[in-house]
Structure 1
């Protein structure tokens, strides 16, 4: 089985790069067909409005090229046009979709399973010179982290992160006896955040990932770990685990002006037996 990995398509902010008649769902479907991808792991941030993300996922399903598993990123929880402020409800809607792996890990065969969850940041990658209360404001002097405006959980970030951690552990338990392909949106390894000290990321690293999730690599047979969020394109291997961050990211950081070329450059692939 050939598995593809990609994240952070940001189809709305990257729309200006499309030629007339192009759409990102068609381009991605063409790439999956050309690369003969059996299963695509899409690790969040399709767009900055969950309605647009749902439409994209529906279009991909209609293309019927590859099976897709999707976990929402922080942007996918936004609802700017409709001013919806019940993020817990939006998460429940994502869980109802066919592409959702939360609560139902995909058992690929007797040897492999995919466990996926959006994950949430726990401030752990930020500098200890800031307090939890300072991180919770999501604003540092000039500028700020936009989730403060568009994400409205009924709990604080650390509690949301812990709830998702428990979801992950339950799904890992259900996949017991199999090697694990693990997918989140937030990063789960320090190789994918900015090394500290740093005058900006001392603060903003807090919103990039979750340090507590690192324990999962010690407790469970995870062999492949997929993440997104940080707009890196990076493959890292350590202690028998391959870590993938395959973010299309913002077009201002692309190497070319061709969205298909950038999608092809971004997509990571690996094979599993069976």
Structure 2
């Protein structure tokens, strides 16, 4: 069995390539590699509708299971949707692994969860307060402005780990 895994496509970040270009390239490589399953480990785009559309189109063009876990960028809020709304939207998709393990065969299953960062790997020169603010030398950690779970990153990380 050949399982392909890819992450951090960021299909909306390139000035000269479109989401269709990424779709075409990924379909081509999956077929060339003769994969049996494709896993996408987050950060497909910065907008949930584009991520949703990309996964839907990819699934239609491939004759293999396509599964994904949303990354932090996939969860960035828009005016009309909260982080929780976007999360629920992804969880309703059959391709999303969150809360729905994919049974490969009698011996193997694939599970996935977005998880969240709890600062345990942060450089010691940063205090907990600095990390929670998400600002450093005038730069802002975009998740601090575009993702709002309503609880601390550490608590969210604990909840994710328990699932």
Normalising by structure 1, report the TM-score.
0.56
Residue correspondence of structure 1 range 8-27 to structure 2 within 5 A: 8-17=8-17, 23-27=21-25
Q: Which residue is 2:141 aligned to?
A: 145
Q: Structure 2: 5+ residue runs without aligned partners?
A: none
Residue correspondence of structure 1 range 179-194 to structure 2 within 5 A: none
Q: Which has the higher contact order (CA 8 A, sep 6+)?
A: 1
- For residue 72 of structure 1, report the CA deviation from its aligned partner: 0.5
Distance in 1, matches of 2:36 and 2:87, equals 26
Q: Which residue is 1:103 aligned to?
A: 99
Q: Which residue is 2:70 aligned to?
A: 72
Q: Which residue is 1:229 aligned to?
A: none
Moved over 4 A (4+): none
Q: Which residue is 2:129 aligned to?
A: 133
Q: Which residue is 2:6 aligned to?
A: 6
RMSD (Å), alpha carbons: 1.7
Distance in 2, matches of 1:22 and 1:64, equals 14
Normalising by structure 2, report the TM-score.
0.92
> Quick check: 1:106–1:113 contact (8 Å CA) kept in 2?
yes
Distance in 2, matches of 1:105 and 1:89, equals 21
> Quick check: 1:33–1:65 contact (8 Å CA) kept in 2?
no
Q: Deviations over 1:24-83 (max 9, x none)?
A: 11221111111111101100011011111001011111113331110011110113xx42
Q: Structure 1: 5+ residue runs without aligned partners?
A: 168-274
Higher fraction of strand: 1
- For residue 22 of structure 1, report the CA deviation from its aligned partner: 5.1
